[in-house]
Structure 1
Amino acid sequence: MSSITINGEAHEFSGDPNMPLLWYVRDMLNLTGTKFGCGAGVCGACTVHLDGVAVRSCQTTLGEAAGKTVTTIEGLSPDGEHAVQQAWRKISVPQCGFCQSGQIMQAASLLAKNRAPSDAEIVEAMSGNICRCGCYQRIHEAVRLAAGGV
């Protein structure tokens, strides 16, 4: 049996340790804010924090997450008032919104490590998160805005 903390709550898991964290979060805990995109770890829609670092939950197994702390979009800020979430609303970033939880989690991880990223550092950190609607300029602007409020 493995233990994992998700959004501050301890969970015990006795199933296959090779199960992707994404399936556990979505299918067993019904935390559907984390999205399935590509299943190959290249789009970023499934981004969560593992011990504070952005990871692709479709490529992270429960075995790899055992004993660690996971934060999903639902746990980033229970009231939706994290600086990144506030900036997303102020800039009106989303178009379709599908990728946005992954984008927000990636941005929050960046700002937790680097409170004042340069434009180049923002581009580099966010480059693994794909937005099919092309909202990249608004995403970039929101990350810069959030950096001022983190």
Structure 2
Amino acid sequence: MKKLYVSALAYMVAGLVSGIYYREITKITHFSGDTMLAILHTHLLILGMFFFLILIALEKLFLLSENKRFSFFFWIYNTGVIWTIGMMAVHGTLDVLGITSGPAIAGLAGMGHIILSIGLILFFLILKDALFENDHA
């Protein structure tokens, strides 16, 4: 339970800091176009803080962490979020600085999304087990 709380808290801090980063780097560079940095804040708060706050409630109800897949899910999901967010931050920063990011950044971002998707699939398998473990229908 504590690691879920710490995760939510860490993503909240990262989300708030990313909002400040976006505002300040665009102000300093006089950037006014579209950039991935504009949605970094929201991604961190939703995929990070809110997801883990919801997970805390589900843990209280269903003891999801007792599932043998839970630890694997936890690390895969966090790896996917951090990887994806990291690539968004790199891509967005390059946009603001006027540097073309190229296909390598897009490919790495895609890998982050794949890892994140695997984490979400694991989460739903764990949730299914918790919801329907005694349901034989």
The answer to whether TM tops 0.5 is no
Q: Which has the higher helix share?
A: 2
Structure with the bigger percentage of strand: 1
Compare relative contact order (CA 8 Å, sep 6+) and give the higher one, 1 or 2: 2
Bigger-Rg structure (1/2): 2
TM-score (norm 2): 0.30
